[in-house]
Structure 1
């Protein structure tokens, strides 16, 4: 099958103790729309304002095309998290803004359905994505940004060995407001400091 790149790459599948990560597919639409819909209030304070057609099948198809295009161009890899136990969709995690050349870096972003939050699944997902980024993609640096009041995200990143590097003022427009974000980073070869 021609995928738009010179070399065909199989879509990655990562497995942790609690989760299985794979790239989203068209068959995931119903589970994705249901989980995002029921978690809207929970997620909206940490995300950009949702488009009016955010949860439609058409919008989801556009999202899949963007994911696949960015992957084929080597710019991003997006995963859905599924429970290893019962294959239920839990959330998503991505490596985006992949920079090569002198940087060899990427940005990690993630979301979790409200009913699955706080149970260790995202930490398990990070334990899969970090080695994938450093070993398979051969990146040198991973970055993540989070709003200072998002205590769960702060704890997650610090537990996963990310170090806070500073505060970026008015960094991203989240929930309709320009918000400050902490910048976190983890460098290849650093041992995680769990707290």
Structure 2
């Protein structure tokens, strides 16, 4: 992987709550078969199911144990989404996942979104750590998480099955500042 100098910084993006207008984008991302092997999805979602998800999500991580935020550029265009999931308030940690739309990749949007998530996780949710599970065959996510200061803590052998082969997953962790 070549070193890449991002052109987008923290102040160039914002994070916002999921809106009904995001249905088409959510439908596109959730039904992108190429993304299924990096997550837990293994079936297509209907527009109806995603509409119900948007309508029923409280936006309260303490209720839903997850929160999805849309990543927007300065023009208000949605460039991706970032999730906190498997939220555990007792142990003050959550898993983080991110998707940047193809046309916005390798421009720094992922790093900028991670900076926002660190601030939100620490200052608002008072989390101590964020972690990510990244497929060994996903160089873009490896570069993103390592560039965002996550440390490789271990490897989960044969963790993901793509229908033909098993793949290892790298367990990344980032400890947030102590309060």
Q: After TM superposition, is the score higher than 0.5?
A: yes
Give the equivalent residue in structure 2 for 1:19. 13
Give the equivalent residue in structure 1 for 2:144. 156
Shift of 1:70: 5.9
Shift of 1:71: 2.9
Could you tell me which runs of 5 or more consecutive residues in structure 2 were left unpaired when the two chains were aligned.
1-8
Q: Distance in 2 between matches of 1:175 and 1:124?
A: 33
Change (3 A) 1:106 1:66: farther
Give the equivalent residue in structure 2 for 1:61. 51
> How many positions carry a matched residue from both structures?
170
Could you tell me which runs of 5 or more consecutive residues in structure 1 were left unpaired when the two chains were aligned.
1-14, 191-195
2:29 paired with 1:36: yes
Secondary structure in 1 matching 2:167: strand
Shift of 1:169: 1.8
CA RMSD of aligned residues (A): 2.7
Shift of 1:189: 2.1
Question: CA offsets, 1:69-110, max 9 Å, x none?
Answer: 7635161221011112x2111111011111122x11110011
Give the equivalent residue in structure 1 for 2:85. 96
Change (3 A) 1:175 1:136: farther
- Structure 2-normalised TM-score? 0.81
| Contact in 2 for aligned 1:42/1:114 (Cα 8 Å) | no
Change (3 A) 1:176 1:21: farther
Q: Distance in 2 between matches of 1:176 and 1:73?
A: 37
Give the equivalent residue in structure 1 for 2:158. 170
